[in-house]
Amino acid sequence: MELPVLYAMRSSLYSAKARCYLIKQRIEYIERPPGDPRFPAEVVPQIGRWIIPVLQTADGELIQDTCDIIDYFDAEMPPERSAKPPAGLQNIVTRVLEMFGSEGLMRPALHYRWNFDGLNMPFVGEDFGRGLMLAGGSSDRLSTFDFGPEIGGSDDAAARAKISQFAADRMRALTLDFGVNPETIPEVERSYHEFLALLSAHLEMTPYLLGGRPTLGDFGLIAPLYAHLARDPEPSLIMKRDAWPVWRWVERMNSPVTDSGEYGEVPFELFADDAIPETLTALLAYIGREFAAEVAAHVGFIDNWLEQNDEVAKGDVVGGKPYKRSLGLVTWNWRGYEIKTNAIPYRLLHLQRIQQAFYAADPPAQDAARELLGDAGLGGLLELKARRRVVRSNNLELWGAAQQAIIPA
Identify the pLDDT of residue 141: 45
120-135, pLDDT tens digit by residue?
999 999 999 888 888 6
Give the mean pLDDT of 220-248: 98
Instruction: Measure the CA angle with vertex 354, ends 219 and 184; round to 5°.
Output: 70
- Residue 139 pLDDT class (50, 70, 90 cuts): very low
**With respect to CATH, is domain 5-74 assigned 3.40.30.10?**
yes
- Residue 137 pLDDT class (50, 70, 90 cuts): low
167-219, pLDDT tens digit by residue?
778 888 889 889 999 999 999 999 999 999 999 999 999 999 999 999 999 99
Average pLDDT along the chain: 93
Pairwise CA distance, residues 235 & 227, whole Å: 11
Residue 109 has pLDDT above 90, yes or no: yes
- With beta carbons less than 8 A apart as the criterion, state whether 83 and 75 touch: no
- Residue 155 pLDDT class (50, 70, 90 cuts): low
Structural Rg of the chain based on CA atoms: 21
- Residue 394 pLDDT class (50, 70, 90 cuts): very high
Question: What crossing angle do the helices spanning 346-360 and 278-308 adopt, rounded to 10°?
Answer: 120
Please report, rounded to a whole number, the percentage of residues in the chain having pLDDT higher than 90. 85
Give the mean pLDDT of 233-262: 97
pTM above 0.85, yes or no: yes
Q: For residue 211, give the DSSP letter.
A: B
